Amino acid sequence: MSENKKPTLSMEELVSYAKRRGFVFQASEIYGGIAGFYDFGPYGVELKNNLKRAWWESMVYANPNIVGLDSAIIQNPKVWEASGHTERFSDPMIDCKACKKRYRADKMADIDSTDAAELIAALKGVTCPNCGKEDWTEPREFNLLMETSLGAVEGDKAAAYLRGETCQGIYTNFANVVDTARRKLPFGIAQIGKAFRNEITPGDFLFRQREFEQMELQMFVLPSQAGEVYADWKERRMAWHQRYFTKTKLRFREHGANERAHYAKEAWDIEYDYPFGFKEVEGIHNRGDWDLSRHSKYSGKDLTYFDEATGEHVTPWVVETSVGADRLFMEALLDAYDEEEVNGEKRVVMRFHKDLAPIKVAILPLSKKPELSGLAQKVYASLGGKYSLEYDETQSIGRRYRRQDEIGTPYCVTVDFDSLEDKAVTVRDRDTMVQERITIAELPDYLKEKLS
C-alpha cells in the first residue's frame, strides 16, 4: 500500500485506540482524571522509551561533539528570572463575558501574534465555541510557570518553580561541561526530561499538556559559526523525522516576526500533519547570545569561552533543537496506523519502524498444551532480556496475530506441534505476513539481524 493512501485516524479514534491498546491512559482516571496529564501504559512506555533512545543515539552517540546531561527539575528561582520566564512566559487569554469560558486569544483569532491590538482586530466576528456569543474581554497575559514550595514548615516555605523548559539546566551547566568534558566550540549538550507549564487550555490529547517531556539539544557556537550550524541542524532534524515518518506529513514553517522570541535570530518549526492540521512538533532556534549573557549577568559568573584562534573571550551563541517527546509520540501513533483488507476482513496494522515498535517479538504457542507451553517458554528464555517480548497463549492464533498487528509487533514466533519434532518455529513478518520456518537454535541470531 502506498504511503499516501494510508487511512488517517481522527482524534477520537486516536485517543480510543491509545487507551484500548494500553498506550495512554488519562492520569488519575479512577478519580475522574485531571486536565492536561496522562499516564503511559505498558506499550506506551516502550514506544516512548524507543523514541527517546532513537533521539539520544542520533544526538549523543552519533556526534563526537555532543554530550548528555540530566539536570534537576527544580532550580534556583533566579534561573527563571534570568531566562525571562517570570517576567514574560505567558499566553494571551480572553474570557467570554457571556458564559465565562476562557480561551487562548491567539488560537481563537488564528494568528501567530501576541500583540493585543492585532489580537483584538483579528477577533472581530469570532464567536465563543461554547455559547455562540461574541463578547470578549481584552486579552490578558497568564504566566505559565508552575509554582511549588520548598521546606516542611508551613509559613516558612520558599517558593520555587517546576521547570518550564529543560534547556535552562543546560545553560547553567555550560561552564561545568566546558571544564570537565573538555569540548571546543562548536559543541552541544543534549537532555531529555520533564517540563511543566500551566497551560490554561490543555487539550488535543498529548499535544498540549501541563506535564510533558522535552528532548533538547543546545549547540554552543562562536557567533561566526551560528549560521552554518543552524542550517545543518535544521536539515538534520527534518531528516531524522523523515527516517521514521511519512515525508508528505512533515513540513517546515518559519516563525513570523511577531511570534519569534525577541532574542531569536532565526526560528523554524518542524510541523506534522495531526488530525487538527499541520502543527509544531519541534522548534529549531538560533538564540544568539541571550542565554549565556543573561545567566552571566544574573549569576555574576563568567560564562565566556576562550577562543584560542583569536585569543579573545566570547559569549557563545546557542543553536537549539527542541522536540516534545509527547507530540512525537502522537506523530508515531498516527503515522504507523494502517488498515488493509485480507481475505475479506479488515486488518489493522501499526507499521512502526522496527526501532520504535513497543514489542519486538511475540512468542505464541499454538495451544496451551503443557508440552508446547514448555517449549515456547524455552524459546522465550533464549531471547529474553535482549528486547521487549510478549508471551501470549490465549485465543486462536488468528486473533493473536491480529492483536500483535494492532500493536505493531514486527515478528510473531509460533511454536506448534511440529516444533516438538523438527526443533523449529514459524516466524511471521508483520508487514508481508510471510511465514518462515527457522530452527530454534538459529532464532536468536535470525531475529537479532532482522531487528538491527
Residue 327 as a binder of ligand ATP (CB under 6 A): the answer is: yes
| Rounded Cα gap, residues 396 and 36, in angstroms | 39
| Part of the chain binding ligand ATP (CB under 6 A), chosen from 4-12, 306-314, 320-328, 348-356 | 320-328
Q: Could you say whether residue 266 binds ligand ATP (CB under 6 A)? A: no
Of 274-282, 329-337, 364-372, 386-394, which segment contacts ligand ATP by CB under 6 A? 274-282
SS3 at position 67:
strand
At 2 the three-state DSSP class reads coil
Angle subtended at Cα 347 by Cα 343 and Cα 352, rounded to the nearest 5 degrees: 140
CA distances 210 to 213, 255, 269, 288, 320, Å, are 10, 23, 21, 28, 22
Tell me: does residue 192 bind ligand ATP (CB under 6 A).
no
| Residue 203 or 227 having the CB closest to ligand ATP | 203
For ligand ATP, the binding residues in 136-175 under the rule CB under 6 A are 165
Which cell numbers in the block locate residue 385? 532480556
Q: Distances in Å between the alpha carbon of 304 and those of 382, 446, 452?
A: 54, 52, 42
With contacts defined by CB under 6 A, how many residues of the chain interact with ligand ATP?
16
Q: What is the dihedral of CA 409, 411, 412, 414, to 10 degrees?
A: -170
- Does residue 216 contact residue 167 with C-beta atoms inside 8 Å? yes
Under the binding rule (CB under 6 A), the answer on residue 282 touching ligand ATP is yes
109 φ, ψ (degrees, to nearest 5): -80, -15
Choose the binding region for ligand ATP from 50-58, 275-283, 377-385, 435-443 (rule: CB under 6 A). Answer: 275-283
Distance of closest approach, residue 77 Cβ to ligand ATP, in angstroms: 19
Choose the binding region for ligand ATP from 147-155, 280-288, 301-309, 430-438 (rule: CB under 6 A).
Answer: 280-288
Given 322, 409, 414, 426, the residue binding ligand ATP (CB under 6 A): 322
Nearer to ligand ATP (CB atom), residue 212 or residue 317: 212
* 209 vs 315, beta carbon nearer ligand ATP: 209
Measured at CB, which residue is nearest to ligand ATP?
324
Answer yes or no: are the C-beta atoms of 315 and 323 closer than 8 Å. Answer: no
Choose between 165 and 273: whose C-beta lies nearer to ligand ATP: 165
* Interface stretch with ligand ATP, choices 64-72, 179-187, 278-286, 403-411 (CB under 6 A): 278-286
> Could you say whether residue 425 binds ligand ATP (CB under 6 A)?
no
Using alpha carbons, list the distances in angstroms from residue 380 to 250, 337, 387, 416.
39, 28, 11, 14
List the x/- string, 204-243, binding to ligand ATP by CB under 6 A.
Answer: ----xx--x-x-----------------------------
Q: Which parts of 17-56 interact with ligand ATP (CB under 6 A)? A: none
Residue in the block written with cell 551563541:
317
Give the binding range for ligand ATP (CB under 6 A) out of 77-85, 322-330, 383-391, 429-437: 322-330
**Per CB under 6 A, which region of 116-124, 316-324, 397-405, 407-415 contacts ligand ATP?**
316-324
Residue 87: closest CA among 157, 169, 144, 150: 144
156 CB-contact burial (10 Å; exposed 0-12 / middle 13-18 / buried 19+): exposed
Rg of the chain in Å (alpha carbons): 25
Integer angstrom CA distances of residue 121 from 93, 248, 260: 15, 34, 20
Task: Quote the least distance from Cβ 436 to ligand ATP, whole Å.
Answer: 40
Tell me which of 193, 324, 358, 408 binds ligand ATP, using CB under 6 A: 324
Angle, nearest 10°, between helix axes 226-244 and 325-336? 40
Separation between Cα atoms, residue 354 and residue 83, nearest integer Å: 39
Check residue 331 for interaction with ligand ATP (CB under 6 A): no
Min separation Cβ 406 and ligand ATP, Å: 26
* Among 266, 280, 291, 390, contact with ligand ATP (rule: CB under 6 A): 280
Q: How far apart are CA 92 and CA 88, in angstroms?
A: 11
Residue with cell 531475529: 447
427 sits in which H/E element: strand 424-429
Alpha helices in 281-428 (DSSP H): 290-299, 325-336, 370-383, 397-407, 417-422
Which of 289, 291, 326, 338: binder of ligand ATP (CB under 6 A)?
326
Among positions 197, 249, 287, 295, the unique one binding ligand ATP when judged by CB under 6 A: 197
State the helix-helix crossing angle for 370-383 and 443-451, rounded to 10 degrees: 50
In the complex, least distance from residue 268 CB atom to ligand ATP, rounded to whole angstroms: 11
- The binding site for ligand ATP (CB under 6 A) comprises 165, 197, 199, 208-209, 212, 214, 280-283, 322-324, 326-327
